[in-house]
Amino acid sequence: MFLNLAVITGLVSCCLSATYDKPDDVPNIDWDFIIVGGGTAGSVLANRLSENSQFNVLVLEAGPTNRKVTDSIVPGLEGELANTLYDWNYTTIPQRGLNNRSLTLRRGHILGGSSSINGMIYTRGSSSDYNRFAEYSGDPGWGWDNIQQYLRKHEKFEDPVDNHNTTGQYDPAIHSTTGRVPVTLPGFSFPQVDRLAIQASEQLGGDFQYNEDMNSGTPLGLGWVQYTIGHDGTRSSAATAYLDDKARARKNLHIVTNSRVTRVLPDPNTKALTIRTVEVRVSETSNPVKFTASKEVILSGGTIGTPFILMHSGIANADKLRESGIKPLLDNRSVGRNLSDHFFFEVSFNVVPNSLDLGHWGNLSGDPALRAEALQIWNKNRTGPYVEPVPYAHLAWTRLANNITEKFGDPSSGPNSAHLEFRMGAVSPTAYDVIAVVVSPVSRKSTSNYPWITIMMLGAPGGTLAIGSNNPFDEPMIDPGFYTSDFDLVAAREALRSAFTFASAPVFQNVITGVAVPFTNATTDSEIDNILRNITGTGLHPIGTASMSPQGANWGVVDPDLTVKNVTGLRIVDASVMPFVPCAHPQVATYVIAERAADLIRSAWKRT
């Protein structure tokens, strides 16, 4: 469902002169930087590097432009972009820990990348997440104190669209109002559900104690969710925020969509491995087009796309490359390793009839007429339930008990960092139906409403990405490795028990009557484990496949400045460089990485 909404004509106005939809149209220019991927990180780099009028910047994006995709900017239509040409439509290999199920892995195939199709949740993670990046890489510049400047550069906190009183819902002192990406609090919610969540927090305390602002660096507790949505009720993506009309009007910035980089190519005239050329194809049968940068090629293809390009270029495990019919350029056995992702499942609860007053919009997910009405209201004045992707207003971040982490190890970055994320709501989260089996089929019924809790887990790293052929148009083999460590299932069981604890708060005594299927009659660990294996999905937060490591280390893919180890002219800037998945939805960390990378790049070339 892609809509021609007259009210947003200005937002979807046609491309400016420096934007092309095929590589053959690109003028013959001496490019300083070629950015492979116009996603979350690539859009930031395109803007920041082209601020210097002396730099000619070329962006090569595999997907189409965002300018004509109206569904992308309507928060309530977030789920409409799945399984379309705006989604890479990746599928994992069968997961042995999930009873051999394969999972759909939604990633943005559009200018703005996954920031143009994601769930828009704005979470920074813990201070210790970034301090761990710094300690692991040996570069204090990745630490919490230093990245504050980049949080300020990218964030533009605004009032919610409904202009409600936000006192006590966030801490203005830790937010920026001068950056590029609009961020705000929920502009629509269900008041009774909000009150229940806050009262449960007050009654339970402990793991669910109230946290005024989970983006302070200490996210633990229950608080109000923040979104990459502006005061105007529209999605804030990297494309809308960094590739606006002003940026696109720069004569030194050129953006090419529908142009897939299949390989990066070595310079045959240098003794040391130097890469500043890319090969682009618009289809499997098209002739390749080559572009060369005088300074750097920057891979911003994301956690899946970047290692995929490296492998097809001959940079990965040499033995594996030969098996796929690819001549190795550089034997780096860390490429495609360390894939980490959050995994999630949902639990629903049966309720006393008529105990939840969700008003007119209570059956939004099950009633096409209500959805049409919500879209009409959004189209008219940017209000109503479609100013949010899913109408829930609270998250909770909690830790597992010490006896679990002492026995199985602690994958988190420190005591102020969470193992679990809980999202609370009272309508079916249909936006996520595309990526996993929803816990309770009854939550989809159009005649009743069920409170539900989505549980996101910080899993132990250990996934991989691989290729099976030398054809760059074949699908990558993605293996997140869910439930393959002893920690994962134990942690998932404890998360389920925590959800039951939250639902047992006194405030729910006359609301919740018990857990809904499929957990209704599950009593033993083995019964619970089997259910979890059947319903767990991906949190859509993959990172780590081109991880940074200390300068000179013989492991990792990039140095702390994000240049590729043992290669001249090639840098990686995207979520793949994170060595650990943060206790957050990783889009904020990706923005931070890109903002700092822009400074590192400008500084490097200022000295030459």
For residue 601, pLDDT beyond 70? yes
Q: Give DSSP secondary structure letters for 496-557.
A: HHHHHHHHTSGGGTTTEEEE-TTSTT--SHHHHHHHHHHH-EE-S--B-TT-B--TT-SSSS
Q: Is 587 annotated as a binding residue?
A: yes
C-alpha count within 13 angstroms, C-beta hemisphere, residue 394: 30
**Average pLDDT in the 522-546 region?**
95
How far apart are the two ends of the chain, measured CA to CA in Å? 50
DSSP SS3 for 150: helix
pLDDT at residue 448, rounded to an integer: 36
**Confidence check: pLDDT of 26 > 50:** yes
Strand blocks (E) in 49-163: 57-60, 90-91, 104-105, 155-157
Mean of pLDDT values over 294-314: 98
Residue 261 annotated as binding? yes
Confidence band of 485 (pLDDT split at 50, 70, 90): confident
- Which is it for strands 90-91 and 537-538: parallel, antiparallel or unpaired? unpaired
Residue 165's contacts (CB-CB under 8 Å, 6 or more residues apart) are none
One-letter amino acid of 196: L
Residue 245: Cβ within 10 Å count: 9
Catalytic site residue from 154, 175, 312, 541: 541
Angle at 418 between CA 161 and CA 87, to 5 degrees: 55
Q: Residues 159-181, buried b or exposed e (16+ Cβ, 10 A)? A: ebbeeeeeeebbeeebbbeebbb
Contact 473, 285 (CB under 8 A): no
- 231 tagged catalytic: no
> Average of pLDDT values for 594-607?
95
What pLDDT score was predicted for residue 459? 62
Is 506 annotated to bind a ligand? Reply is no
CB 202 within 8 A of CB 218: no
pLDDT for residue 455 = 80
pLDDT at 359: 84
Active-site residue, selected from the candidate residues 154, 312, 394, 585: 585
Q: Provide the pLDDT for residue 356.
A: 82
**pTM of the shown model:** 0.93
Torsion region of 83: left, alpha or beta (phi above 0 gives left; psi -120 to 50 gives alpha) = left
* Residue where the block lists tokens 């009557």: 513
Range from 139-153, 467-481, 512-526 carrying the lowest mean pLDDT: 512-526
pLDDT, one tens digit per residue, over 448-479 is 344 677 888 776 568 999 999 999 999 999 99
Closest CA to 108 of 118, 123, 96: 118
**185 or 70, which is more confident:** 185
541 among known catalytic residues: yes
pLDDT score of 445 more than 90: no
Cβ proximity of 398 and 564 under 8 Å: no
Do residues 470 and 312 make contact, with C-beta atoms less than 8 angstroms apart? yes
